[in-house]
């Protein structure tokens, strides 16, 4: 049996500039952090031939082409499983569709498990690129490269997405005091509903490819905010970082009509009146988790609890995708 895990993530600046439709023309920059909430994948060899899958559904297929789960099907095809005799199951600490990059985390965990099953080694960048290849190139999903890279590498990391498809990776150079300040005062609250990022990101992709002036100016501005957020944290100025989060959210809402709604706006305003310096919806928008940087976290927690939102506490993850059990598979 092989069990792997990949961390989920929160984006801290530059979100949206990791889509190929943007960075192929303009170069992207993004600051992201892995958190200690995980997607787990288990791979085992059953006693009988076939492909047995357990995720939100159950599948039993006799061939790879019969597999309905698109990521699993593409991964098995890519690794060229000739006579499949495999059982794959997955579960996660947080539901899918909540803006924490679960699809990229699942893909990296799956590939890590399958390559370990085949006794093949991958470094973190190779794993991230293979995950991007499956989701973006093979499946045509209108997504970026952030989720796969931060899930694979972990940490609090700066990514530069180059026009030639290369990705430069650099850990954020902050001191321990700033890191603990972020862990103590960055708070996540679940809105109670999830959504697929596909429609919002598809709209961004189409507009970027058409050189829509408003969309491109919005993304240029968000990229600049990413650089400013990085610089604020390097200097240890978490208050400025929180203010930049607010500026980012106000700008991000202009990108798509589906980015927010009246309930989200009400919760956000409540937070800003009760101890939050700034915040935003994590991920593409439309649901999932609200994230705030607080200067009075207890006041903020009380206000959000009274509004009916549940907090999810977290710490940063610095291990990335890893094998946690490997035994008895041949």
Whether 176-312 and 2-173+322-326 are alike in CATH topology: the answer is no
CATH architecture of structural domain 176-312: 2-Layer Sandwich (3.30)
From first to last of the 330 residues of the chain, give the pLDDT tens digit. Answer: 999 999 999 999 998 899 999 999 999 999 999 999 999 999 999 999 999 999 999 999 999 999 999 999 999 999 998 778 999 999 999 988 888 999 999 999 999 999 999 999 999 999 999 999 999 999 999 999 999 999 999 999 999 999 999 999 999 999 999 999 999 999 999 998 776 555 555 555 555 555 678 889 989 999 999 999 999 999 999 999 999 999 999 887 776 667 788 899 999 999 999 999 999 999 766 678 999 999 999 999 999 999 999 999 999 999 999 999 998 654
In the chain, where the domains are located: 2-173+322-326, 176-312
Q: ∠ CA(9), CA(111), CA(319), 5° rounding?
A: 40
Residue 202's pLDDT is what? 54
The residue behind tokens 């700033």 is 178
41 within 8 A of 4, measured Cβ to Cβ = yes
101 within 8 A of 154, measured Cβ to Cβ = no
DSSP state letter for 309: P
- Residues paired with 161 in a beta bridge: 28, 167
Q: Is the dihedral of CA 163, 167, 168, 169 positive or negative?
A: positive
Question: How far is Cα 280 from Cα 266, in angstroms, rounded to an integer?
Answer: 13
Q: pTM (2 decimals)?
A: 0.93
1 within 8 A of 44, measured Cβ to Cβ = yes
Q: Is the dihedral of CA 289, 241, 32, 30 positive or negative?
A: positive
DSSP state letter for 274: T
76 within 8 A of 51, measured Cβ to Cβ = yes
Residue 76's pLDDT is what? 96
Question: How far is Cα 151 from Cα 102, in angstroms, rounded to an integer?
Answer: 9
- Residues paired with 65 in a beta bridge: none
Two structure tokens written together for 249: 């959210």
Residue 180's pLDDT is what? 97
Question: How far is Cα 136 from Cα 143, in angstroms, rounded to an integer?
Answer: 7
Residue 129's pLDDT is what? 98
Question: How far is Cα 134 from Cα 266, in angstroms, rounded to an integer?
Answer: 38
| Of 88, 90, 155, 98, the residue nearest 128 (C-alpha) | 155
Listed in sequence order, the DSSP H helices in 143-212 are 146-153, 176-185, 198-209
pLDDT in tens, 14-38: 988 999 999 999 999 999 999 999 9
Question: How far is Cα 288 from Cα 266, in angstroms, rounded to an integer?
Answer: 15
37 within 8 A of 93, measured Cβ to Cβ = yes
Residue 96's pLDDT is what? 86
Q: Return the number of other C-beta atoms located less than 10 Å from residue 256's C-beta.
A: 20
195 within 8 A of 287, measured Cβ to Cβ = yes
DSSP string, 114-141: HHHHTT----HHHHHHHHHIIIIIIS--
Helical axes 238-252 vs 213-234, angle rounded to 10°: 170
Residue 211's pLDDT is what? 64
CATH number of 2-173+322-326: 3.30.230.10
Reported as type and span, the H/E element at residue 44 is strand 28-44
């Amino acid at each position: 049996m092989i069990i792997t895990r990949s961390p989920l993530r929160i984006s801290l600046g530059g979100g949206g500039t990791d889509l190929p439709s943007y960075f192929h023309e303009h170069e992207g920059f993004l600051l992201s952090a892995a958190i200690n909430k995980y997607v787990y994948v288990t791979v085992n060899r059953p006693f009988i031939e076939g492909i047995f899958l357990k995720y939100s559904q159950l599948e039993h297929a006799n061939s790879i082409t019969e597999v309905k789960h698109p990521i699993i099907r593409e991964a098995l095809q890519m690794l060229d499983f000739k006579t499949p005799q495999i059982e794959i199951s997955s579960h996660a600490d947080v539901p899918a569709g909540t803006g924490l990059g679960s699809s990229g985390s699942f893909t990296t965990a799956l590939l890590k498990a399958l390559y370990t099953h085949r006794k093949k080694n991958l470094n973190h960048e190779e794993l991230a690129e293979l995950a991007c290849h499956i989701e973006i190139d093979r499946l045509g999903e209108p997504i970026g490269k952030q989720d796969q890279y931060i899930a694979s590498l972990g940490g609090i990391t700066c990514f530069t997405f180059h026009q030639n498809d290369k990705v430069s990776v650099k850990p954020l150079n902050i001191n321990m005091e700033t890191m603990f300040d972020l862990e103590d005062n960055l708070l996540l609250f679940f809105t109670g509903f999830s959504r697929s990022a596909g429609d919002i990101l598809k709209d961004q992709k189409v507009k970027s490819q058409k050189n829509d002036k408003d969309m491109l100016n919005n993304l240029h501005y968000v990229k600049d905010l990413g650089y400013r957020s990085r610089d604020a944290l390097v200097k240890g100025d978490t208050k400025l970082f929180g203010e930049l989060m607010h500026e980012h959210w106000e700008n991000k809402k202009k990108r798509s009509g589906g980015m927010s709604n009246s309930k989200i706006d009400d919760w956000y305003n409540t937070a800003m009146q009760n101890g939050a310096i700034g915040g935003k919806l994590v991920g593409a928008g439309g649901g999932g988790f609200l994230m705030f940087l607080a200067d009075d976290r207890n006041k903020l927690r009380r206000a959000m609890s009274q509004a009916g939102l549940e907090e999810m506490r977290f710490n940063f993850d610095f291990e990335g995708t890893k094998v946690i059990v490997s035994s008895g598979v041949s």
